[in-house]
Structure 1
Amino acid sequence: MTFPDNTVQSTAWNGTTCGGDYAESVDVAGDRKTYEPGDVLVIDPEHESGFLKSSETYATGVTGVFSTKPGLTGRRQLTAKSDEEVPMAMVGIVPTKVSAENGAIKPGDLLVSSSKTGYAMKGTDRSKMLGAVIGKVVILMQ
């Protein structure tokens, strides 16, 4: 199979991956080296098709989390891959940086962005959660 960028896949995919989420390769604002797996990402209002670390509570521009180990990574750009891209998890179980600024977190809690840059917190204000929920806590890791 030959793709639009002239890369070739010569073996069939059997549906098994070594990671646990689907990520999209996206451009981030600023120095890519300041981003880490687990960072909560939001739409960058200053750059079309760009993303940056979250920095406000209940941000409705939240889009995903910098993936630690994506099983599959998509890419919508037709241009050459940039050094400023990171894998942003869109679906799956993804380790995420969290803050206890809104209380202790337990499985089943909904996560929203916190005031700590790149971190999530437990969502408690239901009136602010529409469009701001990142996901649901499944597993707590130390």
Structure 2
Amino acid sequence: MKYFWVFTVLTIIWVVGYGGARAEVSTGMATTQSVDEDSIEDGDVLCFSDGKIGKCSGEYRVDMYGVFSESPAMALADSGLERGKLMLNSGRVGVKVSAENGAVKKGDFVTSSKQAGIAEKATKSGNVLGVALEDYNGENIGKIAVQVDIRQAIISTSARDNLLETLKMGLLAPSLTPLASLRYILAILVVVITFVLGFMYFGKVARTGVEAMGRNPLASRIIAMGVVFNLSLTVAIMGGGLLVGYVILII
């Protein structure tokens, strides 16, 4: 019985001590980058702008670069780099977060915010930092684990909002990475070409149907059914174009 209690106490100490310390350690490979701010703290979201790295200030920043971490699991440190700080741009890391834009739930996308270096819940499509691995709904600035994967994300739930956000982000393509720019350009081209061809095809079929009904009024019902069928086919083709464009955005 005595040994049982000793084992139990040692187990609790290991879980609280080692397990808690481990939760603070990031995963992924950190690299040393020259940061142009002195007030950088563990968990700050950083952006690369005008050739300098500093705290992100502004929502859905397309120049998000990574997160400063004081305790990465692995690091390629460069001790000779002036003003060097360890940064991660992929993997699990503790990130400073605010609930100003709504409570953060596990699985939510998080992005940069108006508060310098602080992340917040992403509520619309745009550039995101990654996915929250913990809930947060505090009044002050807190820190949660985030699976960092900086990319564009489609978040809006309505088709109208998705379309508007896609067009808006497409206009930002020159400021995105080459791969992200290519995805948006291809998606816009696919959607535009599909709609143009669909309207051209339907216009041709409708005109031909009207002419046919004029020449043969007795077969007008059959001709009208053919026009309706072609209209349905056109709508299906347009929907297919939208689906292809959406797939291009999310791959």
**Would you call these one fold, judging by a TM-score over 0.5?**
yes
Contact in 2 for aligned 1:41/1:62 (Cα 8 Å): yes
2:98 aligns with 99
CA distance in 1: counterparts of 2:119 and 2:37, whole angstroms: 20
Per-residue CA deviation, residues 42-100 of structure 1 (Å, 9 max, x unaligned), is: 0031x3xx31000111111001111131112236x7x9322x11111122210100111
**Which runs of 5 or more structure 2 residues have no equivalent in the other structure?**
1-24, 136-142, 145-251
After superposition, the Cα gap between the structure-2 partners of 1:123 and 1:19, relative to the gap in structure 1 and judged at 3 Å, is: closer
2:27 aligns with 20
CA distance in 2: counterparts of 1:38 and 1:52, whole angstroms: 13
1:53 aligns with 55
CA distance in 2: counterparts of 1:19 and 1:97, whole angstroms: 13
The aligned runs of 1:4-15 (5 Å cut-off) are: none
After superposition, the Cα gap between the structure-2 partners of 1:39 and 1:80, relative to the gap in structure 1 and judged at 3 Å, is: same
The aligned runs of 1:100-115 (5 Å cut-off) are: 100-115=99-114
- Cα drift, residue 121 of structure 1: 0.5
**Which runs of 5 or more structure 1 residues have no equivalent in the other structure?**
1-17
CA distance in 1: counterparts of 2:89 and 2:64, whole angstroms: 11
CA distance in 2: counterparts of 1:21 and 1:70, whole angstroms: 7
Structure with bigger RCO (C-alpha 8 Å, 6+ apart): 1
Indicate the percent of aligned positions where both proteins have the same amino acid.
Answer: 34
Q: Secondary structure at the match of 2:62?
A: coil
Per-residue CA deviation, residues 85-119 of structure 1 (Å, 9 max, x unaligned), is: 11111222101001112100010000110001100
CA distance in 1: counterparts of 2:26 and 2:102, whole angstroms: 30
Richer in helix (by share): 2
Structure 1 residue runs of 4 or more that deviate by more than 4 Å after TM superposition:
none
Q: CA RMSD in A?
A: 2.1
Matched, 1:40 2:39: no
CA distance in 1: counterparts of 2:133 and 2:70, whole angstroms: 16
Contact in 1 for aligned 2:26/2:92 (Cα 8 Å): no
**Which of 68, 71, 74 pairs up with 1:72?**
74
Contact in 2 for aligned 1:112/1:133 (Cα 8 Å): yes
Contact in 2 for aligned 1:98/1:119 (Cα 8 Å): yes
After superposition, the Cα gap between the structure-2 partners of 1:40 and 1:19, relative to the gap in structure 1 and judged at 3 Å, is: closer
